[in-house]
Structures are given as C-alpha cells and as structure tokens.
C-alpha cells in the first residue's frame, strides 16, 4: 500500500475531510436560494475574518487571477506604481502592472530580507508630487519565507495617499489581519493555502478608496470586473458561474476557522514556525530568513554543504512521501521550503523533522539522533510552559 | 428525507460519482510528476475529443474567463470584430470584445432563430477590404436552445480570412466537433456542461492562425496569457496553480467520454432532444425553436397560456426537486429551459416529462394522462427501431 502523500509545501496544502466531502457533493444550481444562502454566509465569514468593512469578491481563479483583478480594476495605463519586491511574488505584482501599461518602479531587497518601513518611507517621502497611484506589497513572500509588516507598510502608504494593494495569499487565514483598520485598499487571498481548500478559488477584499479608483480605472476587464461582482452581490450571487463545489467547501473551512478562532490559529502557526526553526537549527541546518521576519507559514532552510536540495527532497518523498518545495528561480537548488499553513499541526512539524533527520542520516549527514525533534520539543515546552522538557 | 435535487438546467449538470470522488481526493502537488502525468493525459484527451491538431489550454476559471482569454490573446484595441448574435451568449462575445477596445459590429437574429450561412456570407462578401479581424460565433446558444452550424459558418469565415472564435461551452463533449478540419481558430469549452464536471475549469483550443495572431495582439493579459500556458506545457504543467482536484476529475470524465465514444454520445443527445421535444409537444406545449436548429443539449418551451414559467418551475422543484431554468433577460418568464447535457440519459428525460405532466395537471392544465411520456416513447421507438410502441 502507498502511504498517503503528505504536502509540506506552500500550497496546495492538506485539506480537512469535511471540506473534501463538500467538494464531492453534487453541484447545486448557482442561481438558487440554497446556493445564495451558502455563498452569502461565506462572503460574510470572509469579511469578518479579514475585519473588512467594505466589499469582498469571490473569484473562480487562482490567486494570480485575483492579483490581476486588483490591478485591472483600480489602475489605468500610464499610472505610476511602486512595487515592493522581496521575492518572486513581489515581482509578480510588478509584472502584472507592467502588462497593463503601468509605469512600475521596483524597490528590491535581497532574497531572505523584508521590506522595511524605513526603506518604504524614504522612497515615499521623495515622491513630493504624489505621483505613485499605488504601492504593491507582499505580506508573506512565498518564495523566501519572509513576512513583511503589512500593518506598518500599509499605514505609511495611506499617509502618502497611494493605494495599498496587498498579496496575502499565503498569510490570510493563518495570521490575524485587520484589512480596514490597517488601511489596506485591495487584498488578495487564495484557496489552497491557509484557507485549507484545494486550488481554484481566490478572494479579493476591496475598500472604499479602491472602489472609488475603480470608477476611473481604464484597464480593460470583463471576467474579473469588480463592478459586475458588486452588482451581482446585491442579488446574492456572482456575475458568472462560480465554482459552486468550492464555495460549499469554503463555507465549511470558514466554519472550522471561526471555531478555532483566528487568534488561536495565529498562535498555532507561530508555534509551528518556532518549533520547526528550532528543529532545523538543532540539526545544524542554516535558516534562510532571520527570526525577526520569519514567516509563520513557510520556512526556508539551506541544505548541509555536502548535500543537494534535490537529494533531500527526493529522499523525503521516496522514503516518507512527504513533499517539500524547492527554491524558485535563482533560489532553485539553493534552499528548500517547508510549508506549514492551514490544516497543519505541531505533530506534522515533529513528523517532518523526524523524517528529515532520517533522510539526512541516510544521505550521510551526521547529527545526534533525535536532535531535530528534541530541539523542537524544547522550544514548544518553552513556548507553552508545558512540562515536556 | 429530502430527495436529491436533480439538475435539468443548462449547467451545472449532474456529475458522475467517479468524478465526484476525484474531487474529494487530497490535492496533489501541482509541480509533481504524478500531477503532470494526469494533466498531460487530460490535455491529450481534450485534443483528441476536439480533433484539434494544435494547442489546448486548461484554465482555472469559468467559461466566460476563457471567452475573455480568446479575445485578449488574439485581438488588439481598434480591431474590427463581427459578432454573430442569436442570444445572450452571442452578445457576451460582443461585450467582451468591446471591453477590450475592439470595434464590434453585430449580426443579430431574433431569439429562437439560428445564424444562417446566407446571412453570414452576405455580410462577409460586403467586407471587400477584409477589415474584420475576427468573427465570433456561438455554437450552441444556451439562452434559447438554438444550435448553429459551426462547421459551415467556420468554413465561410476561413474563406474570408478572419479568425473564427467560437463558444462551444454547451456543445463540447455532447456533439462531435472537428476543430481543425472545420477551420475553427479559437474555441472555448466549460467544465460544468457536457464534460460532466462541477463549474470551475474552462478549456481553450487554439489553432495555428490564432497562435500567430497572439504574436501581434496588443490587449493586456497575464493570468490568461496563452504564451505563458504554451511555454508551461513544454514542461508539462501550467503557469499558475491550477485547480488540481478538477483536473483529476476532468481526466476521469474524459475517460468516461472516450469509453462511450463521442459519436454514441452525440446520438444519445440527439435522441434525448427528440424524445423531449416529442413529449413536450405531445402535452400540447409549444417549442421555442424549430427542429432544424434545435439544440441537442438544451430545449426551450413556452408554458401553456394559462400558466406562468415561475409556477411550473416552482412546482417542479417543490414536488419533484427537479430544477428547470427560466428564460434569461428578455425571455425571463416567457420560456422555460430544460438542460440535457453530459451525464443525462433517456430515463432522465422520461422522468422529467412524467414529473412535468403531473405538475401541469396540479396547476390546472389539462392533457391526457401519460401523453408526455407516451409521445416520447413513441419517438424513441421510431428512432431506435425498438419494439416499444
């Protein structure tokens, strides 16, 4: 028998059984009261989870589609955009804005580092003419495992007057976010991350200033046109046939999230991050990102000097059916990434560390037996005050 | 116990259990050999089913997203487009092309009528300067239940030189189509129709001339950018995280389609159409569309003069949990539509007719008991040479 594949990658992520069962239901008609009820409940739960006072649109697409929607609905060709880039997904904002004819300036920091408030403030202060129409921000950079301080960055952008357009694809549902209070204008989330669903749905939160910007935006759009989604919401539906199965599943996962509570979920992810980082360091591996900006959902580490990323990932897969992710683009073969978001718990971290230690041993790397799990347990005990020392 | 809701609407449609079970599997990683194998098998099966010699792109979106992709990837602002409009979905092509800045001319026929070859030829012959860059065609018009002769229309468009951009959302998988031989250039299909899946995936077939047009197209695009899909296909994957669950399900449904064979499937749909039309006429109802252009997947009928569409639909739902569709836009409350595409069989037609007859009786309409099913059975017997008379 094949042991079940286990995804410790930054999406798709493990999906709870109750959510999978919703996926397996016969689809409802999308123009029925029954569907509208579930759809509106999911919409309300998303707004509550994001502390969003304005609009939320559920799109049938992956997160990139929602990123494109965020640009195409608020900007016009020729608009000046500042893109804060600390990895592949920060760069994606810039590429999308360029595809729509915006003039994009990038603030780039080396991979593994965050976008600091000072760096942003400095650039915004130089913009005396207030030419930047929007600033794009990546909350949690999936390619490096860095989390930026979205709250601080967003408030600084609001002070300048530009729109804050944020990617929270790999943080939403794992990290408490206050969309309206933080002054974020457009925010994008995806289903296959901490929302504990398969890929195929995306979510866009849209504040009042973004809705105003929509009115004058000249980028072409149709399938992702916010105006159509907003109008359809008045009759409790979507403008185009949505993925009804996934909206049922979304309602189910949002119920689970509400039950645990986003504060408790945030603590769980913090704990998993710290346990995993302690375990990896305990085994002698080098972490790619400093503690101060380490993502609670993705941890990147360097392989021991003697081993390749490929060998570690392959051994983990062959021996334990645990999937880890490679680095992306220029970080390919340089780091490996462990995803720990959504339906992932401490025991999964311990299992992953135990499996990784075995694989490192098998590949000839030497570290004391049990040091990875041991270090993680010590960290957890320190965090929780539990007696296990 | 609630009897299971049964969808006799033009999408979502009933989904086979084996396909639903694929939806309920834990998602695979989308950058794995295992996923690539299934993805490439689905891609190959789609090409075979469409008799397409060039490219097929699987998009995570609904059909409208794929329609937008077809326009945005082949045209440029200012291009002249001829839109053949015989209903809501024909008009959608025109609206999308206009959203992208194309100059759109519409050929409109009254609802319930097809686009004839003569009408198209006449307009194309007037275009001495060959100004039309593309002609948009709806193969099967979902809003009225009309099927156009895509083969003839497409060949005439090819003769003119414009691109033939076709919507086969509610025909693909139910009607044999020869994409390359018919000279179609771009063709769009959706998952929640005859492909027997929930909503959430769309498919775009792309011929050599469309791929050439892509090279000079100036419409902005990113998520739907054909170039990115084409490049990713070289490494057997998609540019952005696809709906992996639905691609597994698609592979499963395509296996079922291949097993029955598209010719047999086409005959089944023809038979269902004829049986349903015979049954409806037998009960004294008026069909909205003449036999010569009647869709094999959607049948529209007028309610008896004394009854409203709403009363019929509500009674069918309350008494039998069978969903029928209303008319759309100006046909709302004027016609009701019965979808019979994909995982629908003769027995479903008989059940629907029997239920409809009961409901009409309940609402005070008089017709001889059993006349609906009786008329359908006679028609089936005539079609199949079966002894049941």
Q: Could you tell me what percentage of chain A is helix, strand and coil, using 3-state DSSP and rounding each to the nearest 5?
A: 45, 15, 40
Q: Which residues contact A122 (CB under 8 A, 6 or more apart)?
A: none
Interchain pair A245, B11: CB under 8 A: no
Interchain pair A64, B240: CB under 8 A: yes
Q: Which residues contact A17 (CB under 8 A, 6 or more apart)?
A: none
**Residues linked to residue A349 through DSSP beta bridges, in sequence order:** none
Nearest to B62 among A28, A220, A240 (CB): A240
Q: Which of A172, A140, A169 is nearest to A153 (CA)?
A: A140
Interchain pair B198, A27: CB under 8 A: yes
- Looking at residue B2, its pLDDT comes to 67
**How far is the C-alpha of B239 from the C-alpha of B222, rounded, in Å?**
10
Interchain pair B60, A63: CB under 8 A: no
Q: Region B102-111: what's the mean pLDDT?
A: 98
Interchain pair A21, B23: CB under 8 A: no
When the pLDDT of each residue in chain B is averaged and rounded to a whole number, the result is 97
CA distance A379 to chain B (A): 30
Q: Which of A253, A251, A272 is nearest to A17 (CA)?
A: A253
Report the percentage of chain A scoring pLDDT > 70. 98
Q: Region B71-89: what's the mean pLDDT?
A: 98
Q: Which of A217, A183, A199, A157 is nearest to A65 (CA)?
A: A199
Interchain pair A198, B14: CB under 8 A: no
Task: Name the 3-class secondary structure at A88.
Answer: helix
Residues of A in contact with B96 (CB under 8 A): 222
The backbone region for B237, taken as left when phi is positive above 0, alpha when psi lies in -120 to 50, beta otherwise, is beta
CA distance A271 to chain B (A): 25
Q: Which of A119, A374, A88, A132 is nearest to B241 (CA)?
A: A88
Task: Name the 3-class secondary structure at B12.
Answer: coil
Interchain pair B101, A25: CB under 8 A: no
The backbone region for B35, taken as left when phi is positive above 0, alpha when psi lies in -120 to 50, beta otherwise, is alpha
- Looking at residue A334, its pLDDT comes to 98
Interchain pair B221, A99: CB under 8 A: yes
CA distance B214 to chain A (A): 15
Strands in A186-190's sheet, in edge-to-edge order, are A55-59, A202-206, A186-190, A163-167, A132-138, A80-85, A103-108
Interchain pair A199, B68: CB under 8 A: no
Q: Provide the terminal-to-terminal Cα distance of chain B, rounded to the nearest Å.
A: 36
Report the percentage of chain B scoring pLDDT > 90. 97
CA distance B118 to chain A (A): 32
Residues of A in contact with B243 (CB under 8 A): 62, 198-200, 243, 246
Residues of A in contact with B15 (CB under 8 A): 26-27
pLDDT classification of B386: cutoffs 50, 70, 90: confident
The answer as to CATH 3.90.1150.10 being correct for domain B262-384 is yes
Q: How many whole angstroms from its chain centre is CA A205?
A: 14
Residue A389 above 50 pLDDT? no
Nearest CA in chain A to B60: A61
**How far is the C-alpha of B229 from the C-alpha of A168, rounded, in Å?**
24
Residues of A in contact with B220 (CB under 8 A): 72, 77, 99-101, 219-220
Interchain pair A220, B100: CB under 8 A: yes
- Looking at residue B389, its pLDDT comes to 47
Residue A310 above 50 pLDDT? yes
Which of the residues B12, B318, B322 would you substitute to probe the A interface, choosing the one with the greatest number of A C-beta atoms within 10 Å?
B12
Interchain pair A198, B7: CB under 8 A: no
User: Residue B93: which H helix or E strand, with range?
Assistant: helix B88-99
**How far is the C-alpha of B376 from the C-alpha of A288, rounded, in Å?**
70
Q: Provide the terminal-to-terminal Cα distance of chain A, rounded to the nearest Å.
A: 36
Which of the residues A21, A167, A245 would you substitute to probe the B interface, choosing the one with the greatest number of B C-beta atoms within 10 Å?
A245
Q: What is the pLDDT of residues B308-349, one digit of tens each?
A: 999 999 999 999 999 999 999 999 999 999 999 999 999 999
**Residue A151: Cβ within 10 Å count:** 16
When the pLDDT of each residue in chain A is averaged and rounded to a whole number, the result is 97
For domain A261-384, give its CATH number from 3.40.50.20, 1.10.1040.10, 3.40.190.10, 3.90.1150.10.
3.90.1150.10
pLDDT classification of A98: cutoffs 50, 70, 90: very high
Distances (CA, A) of B289 to B112, B113, B143: 5, 7, 11
Residues of A in contact with B240 (CB under 8 A): 62-65
Q: Region B210-229: what's the mean pLDDT?
A: 98
Domain boundaries, chain A: 17-259, 261-384
Q: Between chain A and chain B, how many beta carbons pairs sit less than 8 Å apart?
A: 172
Task: Name the 3-class secondary structure at A357.
Answer: helix
Q: Region B28-40: what's the mean pLDDT?
A: 95
Interchain pair B200, A32: CB under 8 A: no
- Looking at residue A1, its pLDDT comes to 64
Residues of B in contact with A24 (CB under 8 A): 20-21, 23-24
Interchain pair B72, A220: CB under 8 A: yes
pLDDT classification of A145: cutoffs 50, 70, 90: very high
Task: Name the 3-class secondary structure at A156.
Answer: helix
Written as six digits, the tokens of B360 are 């009409």
Q: What is the pLDDT of residues B256-298, one digit of tens each?
A: 999 999 999 999 999 999 999 999 999 999 999 999 999 999 9
Distances (CA, A) of B279 to B200, B231, B382: 33, 50, 14
Nearest CA in chain A to B92: A222
pLDDT classification of B209: cutoffs 50, 70, 90: very high
- Given a contact cutoff of 8 angstroms between Cβ atoms, the answer to whether B254 and B45 are in contact is yes
- Looking at residue A179, its pLDDT comes to 98
Here the ipTM equals: 0.95
For domain B17-259, give its CATH number from 3.30.2270.10, 3.40.50.720, 3.40.640.10, 1.10.10.60.
3.40.640.10
């Amino acid at each position: 028998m094949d042991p079940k594949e286990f995804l410790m990658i930054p999406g798709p992520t493990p999906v709870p059984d109750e959510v999978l069962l919703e996926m397996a239901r016969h689809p409802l008609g999308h123009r029925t009261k029954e569907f509208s009820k579930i759809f509106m409940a999911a919409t309300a739960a998303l707004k509550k989870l994001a502390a969003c006072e304005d609009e939320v649109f559920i799109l049938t697409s992956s997160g990139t589609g929602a990123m494109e929607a965020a640009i195409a609905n608020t900007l016009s060709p020729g608009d000046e955009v500042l893109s804060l880039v600390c990895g592949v997904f920060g760069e994606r904002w810039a590429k999308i804005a360029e595809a729509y004819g915006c003039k994009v300036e990038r603030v780039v920091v080396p991979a593994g580092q965050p976008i600091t408030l000072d760096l942003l403030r400095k650039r915004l202060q130089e913009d005396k003419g207030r030419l930047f129409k929007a600033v794009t921000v990546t909350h949690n950079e999936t390619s490096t495992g860095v989390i930026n301080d979205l709250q601080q960055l967003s408030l600084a952008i609001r002070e300048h007057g530009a729109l804050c357009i944020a990617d929270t694809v790999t943080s939403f549902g794992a990290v408490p976010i206050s969309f309206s209070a933080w002054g974020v204008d457009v925010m994008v989330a995806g289903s296959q991350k901490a929302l504990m669903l398969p890929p195929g749905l995306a979510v866009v939160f849209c504040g009042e200033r973004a809705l105003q910007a929509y009115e004058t935006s000249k980028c072409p759009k149709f399938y992702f046109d916010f105006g159509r989604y907003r109008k359809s919401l008045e009759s409790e539906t979507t403008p185009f046939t949505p993925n009804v199965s996934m909206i049922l599943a979304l309602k189910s996962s949002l119920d689970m999230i509400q039950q645990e509570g986003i504060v408790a979920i945030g603590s769980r992810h913090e704990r998993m991050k710290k346990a995993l980082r302690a375990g990896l360091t305990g085994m002698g591996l080098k972490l790619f990102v400093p503690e101060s900006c380490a993502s609670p959902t993705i941890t990147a580490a360097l392989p021991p000097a003697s081993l390749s990323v490929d060998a570690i990932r392959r051994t983990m897969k062959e021996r334990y059916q645990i999937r880890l992710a490679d680095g992306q683009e220029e970080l390919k073969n340089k780091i490996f990434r462990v995803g720990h978001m959504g339906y992932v718990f401490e025991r999964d971290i311990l299992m992953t560390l135990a499996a990784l230690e075995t694989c490192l041993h098998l590949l000839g790397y030497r570290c004391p037996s049990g040091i990875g799990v041991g270090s993680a347990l010590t960290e957890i005990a320190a965090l929780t005050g539990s007696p296990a020392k």
